[in-house]
Amino acid sequence: MTDAGIYALWYDLAPETRDEYIAWLHGTHLPAMLQRPGYLWAAHVENVTSPEREARNANRLNRTSDASVPQGFEYLLLYGAENAHVFADPSPAELMRGFDAKTREMLSLQLGSRECIFVEVDRVNGPDAKTRRPGITPGPIIQLGTFNSNTLENETEMSTWYSRSRLPLVQTPAGSLGARKLVTISGWAKHGILYEFSSMEAAESGMVDTTEWSRKVVDSLVHAPHSPTLGRRIWPEF
């Protein structure tokens, strides 16, 4: 069973509607969505952040200044499917129009939402890959970075770096389940990288790459707001 397509939605919630929305999403909406043809898994992630992490990332990463790019980042909703066109036919807008009034009302509580439809380019497994549960659902800790290259000329070198340098690093650290290099068919960012970890400690220890090549490639990327997001999967819980 191949999950080559991934839909991602980042968003915020108002404090006064958070509990009602999450109860509905976990108890009603996500189980219903998994009944749709081609859908293989769903994951809801509560992202974690701190002033220290935000400052650290702001110092080392370039982020877009485009005010039209939505800023939501507290939560990340993911779906995996057989291929990316599962999320394009019907399109997200068509899907929304087909929902009942209650579903549309609850989804309207998502604030500052930004979405991407991804195609998987490559994936690698880490030493904890066999602990992935349930089924092929991503692991308990998920980091997702989304970005563009700052110039067309840097695109190929970035892809070479991911293939030759970055992805191989994912295959050995304790607590790594794996990673997927992604590109979009829809959304502001052209590129994505999804990492899975068994614990927050494993995620925060990172896969350190301080080479000159790494620094050069990272400096050539322009990230989406708050990218990369890092969080705990809160659905499914087991």
pLDDT grade, residue 53 (50/70/90)? confident
Q: Which pLDDT band, with edges at 50, 70 and 90, does 206 fall under?
A: low
pLDDT in tens, 71-100: 999 999 999 999 999 999 999 999 999 999
The residue behind tokens 């509607």 is: 17
> pTM for the whole thing?
0.96
- Residues of 96-131 as b/e, b for ≥16 C-beta within 10 angstroms? eeeeeeebeebbebbeebbbbbbebbebbebbbbee
pLDDT at position 22 is 98
The pLDDT, as a whole number, for residue 1 is 65
- The CATH number assigned to the domain holding 146 equals 3.30.70.100
Which residues, 6+ apart, have CB-to-CB distance to 60 below 8 Å? 218
Q: What is the pLDDT of residue 58?
A: 86
Residue ranges making up the domain that contains 138: 5-235
What's the pLDDT score for residue 134?
85
> Omega before 134 cis (within 30°)?
yes
Instruction: Look at residue 174 in the predicted model and tell me its pLDDT.
Output: 93
How many CB atoms neighbour CB 49 within 10 A? 14
Q: Residue 172 CB: number of other CB atoms within 10 A?
A: 10
Query: What confidence tens digit (pLDDT) does each residue in 131-179 have?
Result: 988 889 999 999 999 999 999 999 999 999 999 999 999 999 999 999 9
* Conformation bin of residue 127: beta by default, left when phi > 0, alpha when psi is -120 to 50: alpha
Domains: count for the chain: 1
State the average pLDDT for the chain.
95
- Mean pLDDT for the stretch of residues 204-233: 92
The 10s digit of each residue's pLDDT in 15-44 is 999 999 999 999 999 999 999 999 999 999
pLDDT tens-digit profile of 95-129? 999 999 999 999 999 999 999 999 999 999 999 99
What's the pLDDT at 210?
A: 84
Averaged pLDDT, 55-67: 92
